């Protein structure tokens, strides 16, 4: 996995066919003999994914490389094993990866430390564990369990030996001896003990606060050692960002209330986060009904912000339904015309003069299950589908759960389009949707670590035709 790797909304497609799950479950065998396609619609990026941890309810499709930029946040108590109630360690920033070449040979982190013990008695120690091998194993380590055997252990280092800035953040520098010996110095050097050329992996790291009475607070973070070959095929990412408010409830007279100050502040904060990371190629999914409501309730500045974001060449903006709808339920209820009307209204509102959002059709992000009839209805206009886990049987094999595949329309259905689908990665998406406030930097590290682990499980996989597999 490359720190400067390609990220995109659409990965290179291995056209492996899949099928809609039967209504009451059941097994089916995917057709792995479909012709290979070299259709490639990548979008590039050259910045960190700090933005991601501020986004509510995103859909993760494929994960790829990241660059520095994780942190900072307002300190609060860190998760970890049972500790003295007054002791807290919060990770407020960390270098996202370490490599064999300068200037990336050091693991750096910023810690917010609170303790009732005298500061002169406080010490920090660092434990680096042997690399993880599976995502299930990674999940176990999040709470400090099943960390495995120790690869490197620091001595207890007096807190006075670290630099603490005016904001109370303690700065840690750990040179990492992996595929090469680091040239710089720091608070302690971690020797991974790996064979040269085989160090690239994800290593759990435990940070422990102690004083004269024993161990106190702990926090589990991760060291991502990145040393890909020049021929490696990076993972890529599609991050869908919904831009909308919760649907309002009309009163007994049918009047829809204006957005609350709290809801509007949260929405504008999200827009600011997206605007603050202009080179990150997220895919925006604006809610037409929200923007329409904001435009008529005197909040045109927020509408203008969304319009401005949609004009960036580094972002894709999707045109969807006017209000969030369950496409499968509408079609299943015999209302395909209602779905079509919702799609037309959504496109018209986004492109109208008061809104001015530059959105395009072609991709449907499903937050509910799709059945075959819904796919048939969407396929002519939406050639790319992001589907919820469980509603579609995707390809099998050693690739990630988000490997692109094709869905075959029902014979005789309207149109001849064969949509390309991806199943959203619920596990990685959960890292983002649960990250708020002081938890955001640690969640960003966890996201990067799990994404890296996906790559290290099976790098350089090949698809049907011998081409690098999209994962």
What percent of the chain is predicted at pLDDT more than 70?
A: 73
Distance between CA 319 and CA 321 in Å, rounded? Answer: 7
The arithmetic mean of pLDDT across residues 59-77, rounded, is 37
At 384 the pLDDT is 86
Confidence grade of residue 317 (pLDDT, cut at 50, 70, 90): very high
Q: When comparing pLDDT for 306 and 373, which is higher?
A: 306
Give the position of tokens 């708020």.
Answer: 436
∠ Cα 150 151 155 (to 5°) = 80
- Model's pTM, two decimal places? 0.73
At 13 the pLDDT is 31
At 432 the pLDDT is 75
Between 288-296 and 336-351, two packed helices, what is the crossing angle to 10 degrees?
Answer: 50
pLDDT over 60 at 285, yes or no: yes
Tell me the per-residue pLDDT of 350-400, one tens digit each, with 9 for 90 and over. Answer: 999 999 999 999 999 988 888 888 888 888 888 888 887 777 665 555 556
> Is the Cβ–Cβ distance between 286 and 243 less than 8 Å?
yes
Q: Report CA dihedral (204, 205, 206, 208) to the nearest 10 degrees.
A: 180
Cα–Cα distances (Å) from 37 to 11, 16, 40, 470, in that order, read 12, 9, 9, 11
pLDDT over 60 at 1, yes or no: no
At 458 the pLDDT is 65
- Of the spans 27-41, 76-90, 282-296, 411-425, which averages the highest pLDDT? 282-296
Torsion angles phi and psi, residue 21, rounded to 5: -65, 140
The residue among 169, 132, 60, 240 whose CA lies nearest residue 441 is 169
At 411 the pLDDT is 64
Tell me the per-residue pLDDT of 163-211, one tens digit each, with 9 for 90 and over. Answer: 999 999 999 999 999 999 999 999 999 999 999 988 999 999 999 999 8
Supply 341's token pair: 């009307």
> Is the Cβ–Cβ distance between 120 and 131 less than 8 Å?
no
Tell me the per-residue pLDDT of 238-281, one tens digit each, with 9 for 90 and over. Answer: 788 999 998 878 788 878 788 899 999 999 999 998 999 888 88
pLDDT over 80 at 447, yes or no: yes
Pairing of strands 169-177, 106-114: antiparallel
Q: How many CB atoms lie within 10 A of CB 143?
A: 11
At 90 the pLDDT is 93
> Is the Cβ–Cβ distance between 340 and 414 less than 8 Å?
no
Confidence grade of residue 465 (pLDDT, cut at 50, 70, 90): low
> Is the Cβ–Cβ distance between 277 and 47 less than 8 Å?
yes
Tell me the per-residue pLDDT of 16-53, one tens digit each, with 9 for 90 and over. Answer: 344 444 333 333 333 333 333 332 322 222 223 322 22
b/e burial code for range 11-26 (CB count within 10 A of at least 16 → b): bbbbbbbbbbbeeeee
The residue among 359, 355, 361 whose CA lies nearest residue 292 is 355
Q: How many CB atoms lie within 10 A of CB 50?
A: 24
∠ Cα 378 414 20 (to 5°) = 50
At 287 the pLDDT is 96
Q: How many CB atoms lie within 10 A of CB 153?
A: 13
At 306 the pLDDT is 96
At 258 the pLDDT is 84
> Is the Cβ–Cβ distance between 99 and 226 less than 8 Å?
yes
Distance between CA 454 and CA 457 in Å, rounded? Answer: 5
> Is the Cβ–Cβ distance between 106 and 186 less than 8 Å?
yes
At 460 the pLDDT is 55
Give the position of tokens 């280092």.
Answer: 157
Q: When comparing pLDDT for 347 and 372, which is higher?
A: 347
Burial of 89 from C-beta contacts in 10 A (0-12 / 13-18 / 19+) = buried
pLDDT over 90 at 125, yes or no: yes
Supply 340's token pair: 């079509």
Tell me the per-residue pLDDT of 84-118, one tens digit each, with 9 for 90 and over. Answer: 557 899 999 999 999 999 899 999 999 999 998 99
Distance between CA 11 and CA 38 in Å, rounded? Answer: 10
Distance between CA 426 and CA 442 in Å, rounded? Answer: 18
At 425 the pLDDT is 83
């Amino acid at each position: 996995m490359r720190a400067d790797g390609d990220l995109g909304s659409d990965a290179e497609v291995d056209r492996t066919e899949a099928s809609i799950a039967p209504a009451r479950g059941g097994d089916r065998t995917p057709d792995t003999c479909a012709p290979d396609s070299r259709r490639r619609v990548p979008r590039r990026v050259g910045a960190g994914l700090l933005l991601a941890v501020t986004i509510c309810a995103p859909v993760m499709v494929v994960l790829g490389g990241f660059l520095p930029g994780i942190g900072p946040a307002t300190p609060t108590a860190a998760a970890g094993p049972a500790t003295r109630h007054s002791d807290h360690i919060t990770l407020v920033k960390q270098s996202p990866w370490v490599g064999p070449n300068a200037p990336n040979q050091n693991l750096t982190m910023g810690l917010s430390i609170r303790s009732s013990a005298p500061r002169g008695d406080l010490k920090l120690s660092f434990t680096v564990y042997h690399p993880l091998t599976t995502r299930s194993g990674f999940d176990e380590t999040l709470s400090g369990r099943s960390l495995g055997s120790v690869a490197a252990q620091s001595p207890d280092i007096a807190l006075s030996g670290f630099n603490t800035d005016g904001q109370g953040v303690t700065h840690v520098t750990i040179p990492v001896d992996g595929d090469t010996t680091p040239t710089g110095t720091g608070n302690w050097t971690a020797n991974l003990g790996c064979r040269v050329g085989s160090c690239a992996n994800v290593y759990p790291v435990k940070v422990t606060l102690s004083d004269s009475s024993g161990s106190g607070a702990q926090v589990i973070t991760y060291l991502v050692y990145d040393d890909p070959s020049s021929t490696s095929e990076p993972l890529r990412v599609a991050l869908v960002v919904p831009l909308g408010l919760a649907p309002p409830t009309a009163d007994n007279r049918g009047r829809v209330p204006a957005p609350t100050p709290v809801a509007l502040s949260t929405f504008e904060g999200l827009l600011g986060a997206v605007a603050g990371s202009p080179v990150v190629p997220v895919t925006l999914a604006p809610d037409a009904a929200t923007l329409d409501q904001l435009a008529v309730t005197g909040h045109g500045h927020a509408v203008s912000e969304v319009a401005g974001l949609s004009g960036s060449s580094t972002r894709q903006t999707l045109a969807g339904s006017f209000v969030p709808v369950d496409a499968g339920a509408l079609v299943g209820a015999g209302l395909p015309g209602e779905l079509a009307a919702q799609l037309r209204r959504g496109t018209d509102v986004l492109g109208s003069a008061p809104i001015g959002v530059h959105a395009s059709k072609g991709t449907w992000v499903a937050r509910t299950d799709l059945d075959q009839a819904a796919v048939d209805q969407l396929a002519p206009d939406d050639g790319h589908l992001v589907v919820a886990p469980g509603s579609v049987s995707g390809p099998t094999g050693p690739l990630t759960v988000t490997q692109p595949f094709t869905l075959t329309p029902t014979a005789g259905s309207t149109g001849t389009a064969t949509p390309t689908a991806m199943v959203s990665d619920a596990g990685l998406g959960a890292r983002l949707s649960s990250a708020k406030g002081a938890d955001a930097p640690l969640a960003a590290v966890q996201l990067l670590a799990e994404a890296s682990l996906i790559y290290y499980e099976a790098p350089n996989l090949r698809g049907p035709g011998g081409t690098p597999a999209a994962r």
